[in-house]
């Protein structure tokens, strides 16, 4: 699945339509008075269609994540953890951001009745560009929806470490959000991914979809519930299906902490996956 992410709407999100932000760029950062309220692509899998303001950087990190699988046909069980996987979002213009996802370290151990094996190291480096088509500054004011598209490429790092992919992958994702009223919000993602085969020459296509419902209890505290799936995985793996939930707390306008847990509902999914994280805007 994609990196954990979030859809939360706190308070009065958007700036006045009279404030023209099109002149700001990476070299001419958006001033504090015009910043959108901080929205994050974590902790849920469903990402937001909103971009980081021009000239600003937002770092969203899974401080610690753990996953444990179901026993496979031979009784082997896998478990592993990741540390400090981060989504670094850089505002290029008022509606376009560049993103770099890094996975510095993860470790996985699969143990069964006959043998055990361990893999560890860094994961892929993912380069992305999110383009908001509408709703960035008007969501919750003059519009009740927002939408963005995101192409990406995934680059391998350490060969044959069991954590990083072995070849370049890529795809396209779409992000939609709706203000449902009454402090409720809806997020929907859909994606198409080109993935290198492991056992035979060639590539195959995988699809992802997710939906989350968020509720803002206060201007600082919000919770969510989510369903997500990934289909079309290589032969023999089966489809991944998850349900999950979590929370986020805004410590300051530019710092947020969060946590959550996903539960697998298909045989190919991890049985459970708890995680905690932090996000900061600069």
Q: Measure CA 57 to chain center.
A: 16
Task: Spell out a b/e string for 259-269, using b for 16 or more CB atoms within 10 Å of the CB, else e.
Answer: bbebebeeebb
User: What integer pLDDT is reported at residue 73 of this predicted model?
Assistant: 77
At residue 136, the 3 state secondary structure works out as coil
Q: For residue 55, give both structure tokens.
A: 């000239």
User: What integer pLDDT is reported at residue 2 of this predicted model?
Assistant: 42
User: What integer pLDDT is reported at residue 234 of this predicted model?
Assistant: 72
Q: What is the largest CA-CA distance in the chain?
A: 68
Tell me if 38 sits within 8 A of 250, measured CB to CB.
yes
Q: Which domains does the chain have, with CATH numbers?
A: 32-281 (2.40.160.40)
User: What integer pLDDT is reported at residue 262 of this predicted model?
Assistant: 98
pLDDT tens track of the chain, all 282 residues? 444 444 444 443 434 444 689 899 999 999 999 999 999 999 999 999 999 999 999 999 999 999 999 988 788 899 999 999 999 999 999 999 999 999 999 999 999 888 889 999 999 999 999 999 999 999 988 999 999 999 999 999 988 888 998 899 999 999 999 999 999 999 999 999 999 988 788 899 999 999 999 999 999 999 999 999 999 987 667 899 999 999 999 999 999 999 999 999 998 899 999 999 999 999
Distance CA 160, CA 207 (A): 25
Exposed, middle or buried by CB within 10 Å (0-12, 13-18, 19+), for 74?
exposed
User: What integer pLDDT is reported at residue 1 of this predicted model?
Assistant: 40
The Cβ of residue 86 has, within 10 Å, a number of other Cβ atoms equal to: 20
Distance CA 234, CA 195 (A): 9
- Is the pTM higher than 0.85? The answer reads yes
């Amino acid at each position: 699945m994609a990196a954990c992410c979030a859809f939360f709407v706190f308070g009065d999100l958007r700036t006045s339509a009279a404030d023209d932000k099109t002149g700001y760029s990476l070299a001419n950062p958006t001033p504090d008075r015009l910043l959108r309220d901080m929205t994050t692509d974590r902790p849920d899998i469903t990402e937001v269609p909103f971009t980081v303001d021009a000239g600003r950087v937002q770092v969203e990190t899974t401080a610690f994540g753990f996953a444990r699988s179901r026993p496979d046909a031979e009784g082997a069980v896998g478990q592993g953890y990741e540390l400090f996987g981060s989504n670094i979002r850089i505002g290029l213009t008022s509606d376009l951001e560049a993103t770099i996802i890094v996975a510095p370290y993860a470790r996985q151990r699969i143990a069964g009745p006959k043998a055990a094996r361990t893999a560890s190291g860094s994961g892929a480096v993912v380069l992305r560009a999110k383009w908001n088509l509408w709703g960035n500054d008007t969501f919750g004011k003059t519009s009740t929806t927002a939408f963005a598209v995101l192409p990406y490429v995934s680059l391998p790092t350490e060969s044959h470490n069991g954590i990083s992919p072995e070849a370049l992958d890529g795809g396209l994702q779409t992000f939609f959000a709706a203000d449902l009223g009454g402090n409720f919000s809806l997020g929907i993602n859909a994606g198409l991914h080109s993935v290198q085969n492991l056992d035979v020459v060639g590539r195959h296509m995988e699809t992802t979809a997710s939906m989350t419902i968020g509720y803002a209890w206060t201007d600082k505290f919000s919770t969510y519930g989510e369903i997500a799936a990934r289909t079309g995985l290589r032969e023999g793996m089966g489809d991944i299906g998850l349900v999950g939930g979590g929370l986020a707390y805004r410590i300051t306008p530019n710092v947020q902490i969060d946590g959550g847990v996903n539960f697998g509902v298909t045989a190919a999914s991890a049985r459970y996956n708890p995680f905690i994280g932090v996000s900061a805007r600069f």
